Amino acid sequence: MKRNLQIKELFLKNFDKPVTELKFKNLYELIVCVMLSAQCTDKRVNLITPNLFKAYPDIKSLANANLSSLKSYIQSCSFFNNKAQNLIKMAKAVYENFNGEIPLNEKDLKSLAGVGQKTAHVVLIEWCGANFMAVDTHVFRVSHRLNLSKAKTPEATEEDLTRIFKDNLNYLHQAMVLFGRYTCKAKKPLCKECFLSHLCTSKDKEI
């Protein structure tokens, strides 16, 4: 569809090879950041992780972490109790099942505690530049406002976007995240500044 192609081209033009706003130095830090970012802002995660990574600089130290101590580092993050448990379980599984090396394929990543499809895809997108789409709250909202998907779940929305866009999915994912975060916001979207306004028929549109 011509309109969908225009949307794709405008995303790629307005966001030149965008990357995540999460701050990380290696694959271990990336997977921890992405796990923490579920239903939490990247800004909040970036405030938490410097001290967290000082205390637990690698998979081994995280696998051996004391649960209550770990919680104290991430308690300002949403769902920190669950996340602390999953982080330790994830690290133990990496250490025991993958010789301490975080796997870089979807199936093995999803076998880790706290790593669903979205988290696995974001890790592969950011670390490998994999041609995957990942659907968070921003991507879900943007894709529905732009009538790219009517799906009820993030997984089904991801299928729609993958079918429509086909390639450059890694960049399109991150472009849609940033677009949803700063322009097509949940409340008071900045429609007057939007480069897709002429292609948008959303009921949320503010003129």
Query: pLDDT above 70 covers what percent of the chain?
Result: 100
Looking at the fold, whether 121 and 72 belong to one and the same domain comes out as yes
- With contact defined as beta carbons under 8 Å apart, do 163 and 185 qualify? no
Give the pLDDT band of residue 149 (cuts 50, 70, 90). very high
Give the helix ranges, DSSP H, for 15-105.
27-37, 42-55, 59-63, 67-74, 80-97
Would residue 204 count as lying in a domain? no
Neighbours of 93 (CB within 10 A): 18
Contact 22, 33 (CB under 8 A): yes
Active site residues: 118, 136
Q: Is the same domain home to 9 and 37?
A: no
Question: Which of 73, 78, 77, 79 is closest to 50 using CA atoms?
Answer: 73
Q: Is the dihedral of CA 93, 113, 24, 142 positive or negative?
A: positive
User: Which residue, among 118, 112, 176, has the nearest Cα to 145 in the 3D structure?
Assistant: 176
Residues 107 and 195 reside in one and the same domain? no
Cα four-point dihedral sign 109, 65, 73, 27: negative
Question: Does pLDDT of 39 surpass 90?
Answer: no
* Domain boundary, last residue among 78, 107, 128: 128
What was the pLDDT predicted at 43? 94
Q: Which position has the token pair 């429609």?
A: 191
- Its domain, for residue 195, covers 2-18+133-199
Specify if 74 maps to a domain: yes
- Mean pLDDT of all residues in the chain? 95
Q: What is the pLDDT of residue 206?
A: 77
Mark which of 110, 128, 146 sits at the end of a domain: 128
Alpha helices in the chain (DSSP H): 2-14, 27-37, 42-55, 59-63, 67-74, 80-97, 106-110, 117-128, 137-145, 154-165, 169-182
We report the CATH number of the domain holding residue 35 as 1.10.340.30
Encode pLDDT of 70-97 as tens digits: 999 999 999 999 999 999 999 999 999 9
- Structure-block tokens of residue 187: 């409340």
Statement to judge: residues 33 and 108 lie in one domain: yes
Asked whether residue 89 falls in the same domain as residue 112, the answer is yes
Residue that is last in its domain, among 98, 128, 158: 128
